[in-house]
Amino acid sequence: MSAVWTETEIVPIDRERKIERETHKLEKRLCRLMGQAIADYNMIEEGDKVMVCLSGGKDSYGMLDILQKMQQRAPVNFELVAVNLDQKQPGFPEHVLPEYLAKTGVPFHIENQDTYSIVKDKIPEGKTMCSLCSRLRRGILYRVADELGATKIALGHHRDDILQTFFLNMFFGGKLKGMPPKLVSDDGRHIVIRPLAYVAERDLVRWAEHRQFPIIPCTLCGSQENLQRKQVAAMLREWERQHPGRVDTMFTALQNVVPSHLADGTHYDFKGLTASGVASEDGDRAFDPQEFVAAPLPGLQVIKM
């Protein structure tokens, strides 16, 4: 006996298949972009032990999840160890991360340090606690990396974080400075990597929803949100809404710096410039007609404007 399919029965199945296809495409994109960032900056090498800093937010969950997938297909062998710093904020659900990590099979370490009390004691009421808290947290994580024998420290900052930091430094700090995908730590003893450097935040939001990560809210310490960062984030979202592809182009610009066309004499010898009589690619072409074409990130499609 043949089944009779009504329209109401077919639609949910089609929708489910569409969601499955989109989720598969999302997973491939996340793996491709992380793999490209790791390759471009030589983030992970043969025999590395990568300490994945896990906060309980969508970004660090996503980073660990995708790194596990990359571990299975990478051309080099490396270890992962997840680390969470329990800073003893009131209301922190200390059971959530250990329970989640036990299910993943990833070795993990929970570091218990009451930095919350230190920060509350040192910072006057009403002032932001983020700066001191961040310094204390970094010092502890560097020590833990030594104790665990980690060769790399992985942080969950994504493409949008990097661009926001760039504009914050430019608007409020007077510097062209962002978050590098790879750097030497403050103490000079560790390599810090950001495997999500090419990944858009919106994709991490979708992945977190799909994977149903047990998100821990970031408001436990009671500190005020960084208003300036929120404003910059809103600015970037509005630019992207009005001009799709602009954020990709801006990130690509961070990888195509032309010191001779900026104004920093420590990175280009303006004082020593002389007319050699030989045409130069660095010459002044400010009055030439230009066509601005969006240069995409690796693996991304060019969006014509």
Q: What is the CATH number of the domain that holds 173?
A: 3.40.50.620
In a domain, 71, yes or no: yes
Asked if the structure places residue 294 within a domain, the reply is: no
Q: What is the pLDDT of residue 291?
A: 57
Closest C-alpha to 27, from 247, 160, 204, 159:
204
Token duo for residue 78:
């490396």
Mean pLDDT, residues 254-279:
89
Interior CA angle at 70 toward 66 and 71, to 5°?
A: 115
Tell me, yes or no, whether 295 lies in a domain.
no
259 and 267 Cβ atoms separated by less than 8 Å: yes
Secondary structure (3-state) at 53? strand
Q: Looking at the 3D structure of the chain, how many domains does it have?
A: 1
Structural domain of residue 63, as residue ranges?
Answer: 9-225
Q: In what order do the strands lie in the sheet with 108-112?
A: 108-112, 79-86, 49-53, 152-154, 191-193, 182-184
CA 202 to chain centre: 12
Contact between 153 and 54 under an 8 Å Cβ cutoff? The reply is: no
Strand-pair partners of 97: none
Residue 280, in any domain of the structure: no
Domain assignment of residue 244, yes or no: no
* Distance from C-alpha of 59 to C-alpha of 78, rounded to nearest angstrom: 21
Give the dihedral sign, CA 279/285/289/294: positive
Which pTM value belongs to this model? 0.83
Please enumerate in sequence order all residues whose Cβ is within 8 A of that of 160, keeping only pairs 6 or more positions apart, or say none.
Answer: 200, 201, 233, 236, 247
**pLDDT(121) > 60:** yes
Answer whether residue 61 is part of any domain: yes
Closest of 290, 209, 193, 303 to residue 248, by C-alpha: 303
In a domain, 304, yes or no: no
Identify whether 79 is part of a domain: yes
The answer, yes or no, to whether residue 127 has pLDDT greater than 60, is yes
pLDDT of the residue at 290: 57
**Is the pLDDT at 143 greater than 80, yes or no?**
yes
Q: What percent of the chain has pLDDT over 70?
A: 81
